[in-house]
Chain A
Amino acid sequence: MQGTRFSLAIFAAVAALTLAGCGEEKKPEPAVAAAPPPPPPLVVKLGHVGPLTGGIAHLGKDNENGARLAVDEANAKGLTLGGKKVKLELVTEDDQADPKVGTTVAQKLVDAKVVGVIGHLNSGVSIPASAIYNQAAIPMISGSSTNPQLTEQGFKNVFRVVGRDDQQGPAIASYLASEVKPKTVAVIDDATAYGEGLANEVEKTLKAAGIKVLPREKGTDKTTDFMAILTKLKGKKPNAVFYGGMDATGGPLLKQARELGIKAVFAFGDGACTDKMKELAGDAAEGLLCSQAGLPVQAANKKFLDAYKAKFNVEPILYAPFTYDAANLIIAAMKKADSPDPAKYLPELAKISYEGASGKIEFDDKGDRKDAEMTIFTMKGGKIEPIAIIKSGKTIKFEDFLKTAEAAAPAAPAPEAPKAAAEPVKAAEPAKK
């Protein structure tokens, strides 16, 4: 314990010095006009938090990259707030996708005096952590938490740029209803907050469309044996099956279903909307349907895609465009308010209208994104490909969507890089086959 105390004391000292340093910079510096080096810029900290270790660390890293890109771009361009040069700094924390760890690291971000938080990834972590940011009056924008409860808490500082489960669920369900036209649908979930939440929304929409939904079947997030459930379903002969869960369980489910001779159409949520399905289910994965909240990565703003690839040397995986937008939203709101003070820029953030990598962003009263787009994918030749975009309840074929996007692209406000904006959106390539 001695050692612990001691290191804590050092901590305290370092923290105190840092704070003192920040305080000094804020003071006006009248006398040293003659000194040639410009005053050091005011450091403004933004927080990013998501799982950087654990089962979905790759998604957490993807999110972090998105936010980092936005911060670096803003720094390169130069940011001046309230007449002072500002340097943004991204403070990152690892919440391990665990609610208990989530609240601790949320507190660490508050302690570090960040002015805004991008995160968390999982809804189960975002919800308890949001209370801590709320108390510290720090805005948080999640780029990937889809559980409706997050923004139903009445916190004024909580936003998300991704669609909610009750937007994604209806999207895939209405696509199923209109394109596959099933009489009976079986709904299965993995008994997690994510899987069950999504499955509930799908069931609601299907029932509203007058489609018969079989009693819910459930596995767990570790289940690999779906034989008993599937055999039971086989006897009930559904035309389509929806599974709310991740690819690690969705793959075996699909494989076993085909092995049992079930011919129904299989549909999944974004957790199982990955190329990994091909690896886990083999040829059985061909032709599956799945949905992702928001526009597909391929349809994200070309400028973002290029910059991301140039900087990190990898393709963005899933939510990077959203965290990129989240960080840019905070920066844009700070610019409008001309202040990094959360109390001043929060009202600007709430009423912002912003053209981001994932499309146009405006928030409603709860902090949810207005009119969030959903994308439907199918598995073709071992790769998932977008086939339709769903916006405001309307289904638009992906090719048509790209055409309108191309037409709109030059008008998109990206004034600092007109060249990039003028180029047609490259994502058309895979869709053209």
Chain B
Amino acid sequence: MDIFLQQIINGLTLGSVYAIVALGYTMVYGIIQLINFAHGELVMIGAMVAFSVINALAGTHLPPVLIVFIGILAAIPVCMLVGYAMERIAYRPLRSAPRLAPLITAIGISIILQHLALLVWSRNPLAFPQIIPFVTFPIGGAIISGVQIAIILTSVLMMGALTFMVYRTKLGIAMRATSQNPLVAGLMGIDIDRIISFTFIVGAALAAVAGVMVGTYYGIAHYGMGSLLGMKAFSAAVLGGIGNLAGAMLGGILLGIVEALGAGYIGDLTNNVFGSNYQDVFAFMVLIGVLVFRPSGLLGERVGDRA
């Protein structure tokens, strides 16, 4: 039982990260119906920038929490800038082009960002310096670490803030209007271009925080970490119903738990015919399953075959 609980805790932590990244996908998709393939790379850039800053400050005698905070603060604007540039350069000129075009540029941007990061930070993984003392708390036979608690709390906080912004502020109303019908929203005096840029920037900021979270959790960051994470987060967004904020959060957490339980129990359940080696398959299976049987996802109302 304690092992099961431990797996749930692992899944919850991982799922919180997926959820934050999935929010970025879902927001962009909701507003311009584009799968931003390069979103995962923003997570990577966030982690790398933060790690560089944290490593540089590790020698000083600042309190560790402050150092991490400064790292996050450094990562957010960089990611925002990259997110903004991405939209301006690669997506905006293609907004009226056929669907295939921005999708292909998105893949291109993803490759370019990955290899630019390689040039800046080299191939060697960056390690998280040992500044945060490792603490654990027993809970029902399992243990939960300080970092895990921090990750779960931060993501809950960010989801709350984002929900507030989208549903309670003027900007949020403008975003929702644009997503409903950009033409009419434009006629009502909303600056569509600005709203779209803003969506990208918010998504990028979320990605930056997610990058720091996942990097701190595992203690390692490298130039190739974004793509698979991005793919999985996208699957989470689809699972929850793409374009739907609550769906992204639910999908992320569910996917995290599915992965943890899958890797933990599939071996025992199938008499070791399948094992943890299929861990990365689960996300894709979920993705394909959802798209085939319920394209609208768990909470979504959109249909999967919009062109």
**A and B in direct contact, judged by CB atoms within 8 A:** yes
Residue positions of A touching B, CB distance < 8 A: 54-55, 191, 215-220, 222, 224-225, 227-229, 231-232, 234-235, 248, 251-252, 255-256, 259-261, 279-283
B259 to chain A: closest residue by CB: A228
Given A191-B277, A222-B228, A229-B276, does the pair A55, B10 have CB atoms closer than 8 Å?
Answer: no
Contact B280 A231 (CB under 8 A): no
Contact B219 A255 (CB under 8 A): yes
CB<8 Å pairs between A and B, sample of 18: A217-B277, A218-B276, A219-B279, A224-B220, A225-B218, A228-B259, A228-B261, A228-B276, A229-B276, A231-B3, A231-B6, A251-B220, A252-B219, A259-B136, A260-B143, A261-B136, A280-B220, A282-B219
Contact B276 A232 (CB under 8 A): yes
Given A54-B123, A222-B228, A260-B6, does the pair A232, B220 have CB atoms closer than 8 Å?
Answer: no
Complexed CA–CA distance, A279 and B143 (Å)? 25
Given A55-B123, A283-B130, does the pair A222, B224 have CB atoms closer than 8 Å?
Answer: yes
Complexed CA–CA distance, A259 and B264 (Å)? 17
Contact A218 B275 (CB under 8 A): yes
B272 near A: Cβ within 8 Å?
Answer: yes
Residue positions of B touching A, CB distance < 8 A: 3, 6-7, 10-11, 13-14, 123, 125, 127, 130, 134, 136, 143, 145, 218-220, 222, 224-225, 228, 259-265, 267, 272, 275-277, 279-280
Shortest C-beta distance, A275 to chain B (Å), equals 12
Complexed CA–CA distance, A219 and B280 (Å)? 9
Contact B6 A234 (CB under 8 A): yes
Given A222-B228, A228-B263, A232-B264, does the pair A252, B7 have CB atoms closer than 8 Å?
Answer: no
Shortest C-beta distance, B122 to chain A (Å), equals 10
Complexed CA–CA distance, A224 and B228 (Å)? 11
| 5 cross-chain pairs, A with B, having the tightest CB-CB distances, nearest first | A218-B277, A228-B263, A235-B3, A224-B218, A227-B10
Complexed CA–CA distance, A217 and B267 (Å)? 9
**18 other contacts beyond A217-B277, A219-B279, with CB at 8 A cut-off?**
A54-B123, A191-B277, A215-B272, A224-B218, A224-B220, A227-B13, A228-B7, A228-B263, A229-B263, A229-B276, A231-B3, A232-B265, A252-B219, A256-B218, A261-B136, A261-B143, A280-B125, A280-B127
Contact A259 B7 (CB under 8 A): no
Residues of B within 8 A of A222 (CB): 224-225, 228
Residues of B within 8 A of A218 (CB): 275-277
Contact B7 A280 (CB under 8 A): no
* Among candidates A191, A228, A283, residue contacting B10 with C-beta atoms closer than 8 Å: A228
Most buried by A among B3, B222, B260, B263: B263
Given A224-B225, A227-B260, A234-B6, does the pair A252, B275 have CB atoms closer than 8 Å?
Answer: no
Contact A231 B7 (CB under 8 A): yes
Complexed CA–CA distance, A15 and B157 (Å)? 67
Most buried by B among A232, A261, A280: A232
Contact B259 A215 (CB under 8 A): no
Complexed CA–CA distance, A224 and B126 (Å)? 12
Complexed CA–CA distance, A191 and B278 (Å)? 11
A261 to chain B: closest residue by CB: B143
Residues of B within 8 A of A282 (CB): 130, 219
Complexed CA–CA distance, A50 and B127 (Å)? 27
Residues of A within 8 A of B136 (CB): 259, 261
Residues of B within 8 A of A228 (CB): 7, 10-11, 259-264, 276, 279
Complexed CA–CA distance, A42 and B264 (Å)? 64
Complexed CA–CA distance, A283 and B260 (Å)? 26
